[in-house]
C-alpha cells in the first residue's frame, strides 16, 4: 500500500525535507498588487519575493484558496493513480476554507477515481482522508514530519488517521509578529477584530513585541518585550529548555519570514541547534513561505514542538 502525504502552501517545512519525503503541496493563490501568483513552495520564487520586497508593507497582498473544482482536478491528475491512500493535511479550518474545499474535492474524487486508475493500470482501490491540522505554518510542518514517521510504521489507514488527529492536539506553537499594524489590517480585511487599533498603536509607538503562545492556532500573548530580538531570545530559551526536558516527536519546526542572512543572525539560534543535536532532535528550519508571510507579515517568526502539557513560563 503506497501512502502519499499532501500539505497546503501554508505549511512551512524545509524544501529539502519535503522533496526527500515526496510531499505533495496543494497550492494557494496569492494576489499581490495587480499580479497573481501560484504559491507551490518553490524556494526560488519565495526567495525572489523576499529580495524584491513584494511582501513588505506598501503592497496589497491577499491569499485565496484553490476552489473545490481546482483541487479535484489536481487530485485526479496527480494523486489517484500514484497512491493507494492519500492523507491531506490542511491549515486550521478556523483560518481558511482550504479544509472545506479539499473535503468537497475528496468526495467527488472518491466517486470518480476508478476510470483514472483503470487507465493507468492500477486495479486496486483508492482511499483518501482530509485532516484539519488545527495548526498554522511551522505547526503544520511539525505535524507533516511526524506523519511521515507514522507512515513508516505501516499503520492501516484508520489507525494512521487516528494517530495524526490525536497528535495534532499535542502541538504547541509560538509566534512573534513583527508588525502588529500589518496583522490588524489583514485581520480587518477578513472581518476579524481580534487585534485592536489601540494594541497595534502601542506596539508601534513603544516598540513592544508580543510573544503569542498556545496549542495549535489558538494562542494568546504570554509576554512582551521592547524590541524584536529580546522576544526571539525568550522563544529560543523556551525551545532549548523544552528540548532538554523532552519532546513527543524528535522535531522542532521553526519558520521565519526573512532572508537567510537575517535568519542566521537570530539570537539564540545556534544554542537551539546545539540543544537539538545533543538530544537527537531535528531542527526543521525554513524560510516562511509566501502564503504564511502574507498572513502574519514579513519579519515574523513561528516555532512549533510537541510536548506534554505545559506553559511558556515553565521554560523561561
pLDDT, tens digit, 9 for 90 and up, residues 258-316: 989 999 999 999 999 999 999 999 999 999 999 998 888 889 999 999 999 999 999 98
Statement: residue 98 has pLDDT above 80:
yes
Q: Is the dihedral of CA 291, 203, 217, 150 positive or negative?
A: positive
The residue among 152, 168, 184 that closes a domain is 168
* Residues 285, 252 share a domain: yes
Q: How confident is the model at residue 93 (pLDDT cuts 50, 70, 90)?
A: very high
- pLDDT, average across residues 202-230: 85
From 26, 309, 303, 15, select the one nearest 170 (Cα to Cα): 309
The residue among 168, 199, 223 that closes a domain is 168
Statement: residue 232 has pLDDT above 60:
yes
Please write the tens of the pLDDT for every residue from 203-214: 666 678 889 999
Quote the domain boundaries for residue 102: 3-168
* Residues 114, 210 share a domain: no
* Residues 181, 113 share a domain: no
The residue among 134, 168, 202 that closes a domain is 168
* Residues 155, 36 share a domain: yes
* 76-90, 181-195, 233-247: least confident range: 181-195
Q: How many domains does the chain have?
A: 2
Amino acid at each position: 500500500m503506497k501512502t502519499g502525504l499532501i500539505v497546503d502552501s501554508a505549511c512551512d517545512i524545509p524544501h529539502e525535507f519535503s522533496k526527500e519525503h515526496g510531499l505533495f503541496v496543494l497550492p494557494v493563490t496569492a494576489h499581490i498588487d495587480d499580479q497573481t501568483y501560484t504559491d507551490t513552495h518553490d524556494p526560488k520564487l519565495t526567495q525572489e519575493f523576499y529580495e524584491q520586497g513584494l511582501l513588505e508593507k506598501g503592497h496589497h497582498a491577499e491569499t485565496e484558496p484553490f476552489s473545490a473544482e481546482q483541487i479535484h482536478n489536481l487530485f485526479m491528475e496527480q494523486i489517484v493513480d500514484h497512491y493507494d491512500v492519500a492523507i491531506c493535511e490542511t491549515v486550521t479550518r478556523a483560518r481558511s476554507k482550504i479544509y472545506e474545499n479539499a473535503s468537497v474535492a475528496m468526495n467527488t474524487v472518491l466517486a470518480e477515481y476508478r476510470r483514472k486508475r483503470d487507465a493507468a493500470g492500477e486495479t486496486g482501490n483508492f482511499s483518501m482522508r482530509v485532516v484539519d491540522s488545527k495548526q498554522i505554518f511551522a505547526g503544520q510542518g511539525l505535524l507533516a514530519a511526524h506523519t511521515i514517521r507514522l507512515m513508516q510504521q505501516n499503520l492501516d489507514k484508520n489507525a494512521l488517521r487516528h494517530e495524526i488527529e490525536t497528535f495534532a492536539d499535542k502541538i504547541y506553537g509560538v509566534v512573534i509578529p513583527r508588525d502588529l499594524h500589518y496583522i490588524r489590517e489583514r485581520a480587518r480585511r477578513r472581518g476579524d477584530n481580534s487585534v485592536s487599533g489601540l494594541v497595534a498603536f502601542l506596539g508601534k509607538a513603544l516598540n513592544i513585541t508580543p510573544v503569542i503562545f498556545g496549542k495549535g492556532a489558538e494562542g494568546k500573548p504570554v509576554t512582551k518585550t521592547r524590541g524584536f530580538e529580546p522576544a526571539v531570545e525568550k522563544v529560543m530559551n523556551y525551545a532549548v529548555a523544552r528540548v532538554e526536558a523532552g519532546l513527543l516527536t524528535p522535531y522542532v519546526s521553526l519558520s521565519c519570514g526573512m532572508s537567510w542572512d537575517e535568519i542566521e543572525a537570530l539570537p539564540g539560534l545556534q544554542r537551539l541547534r546545539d540543544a537539538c543535536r545533543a538530544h537527537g532532535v531535528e531542527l526543521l528550519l525554513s524560510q516562511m513561505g509566501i502564503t504564511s508571510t502574507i498572513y502574519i507579515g514579513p519579519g515574523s517568526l513561528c516555532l512549533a514542538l510537541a510536548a506534554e502539557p505545559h506553559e511558556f513560563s515553565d521554560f523561561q
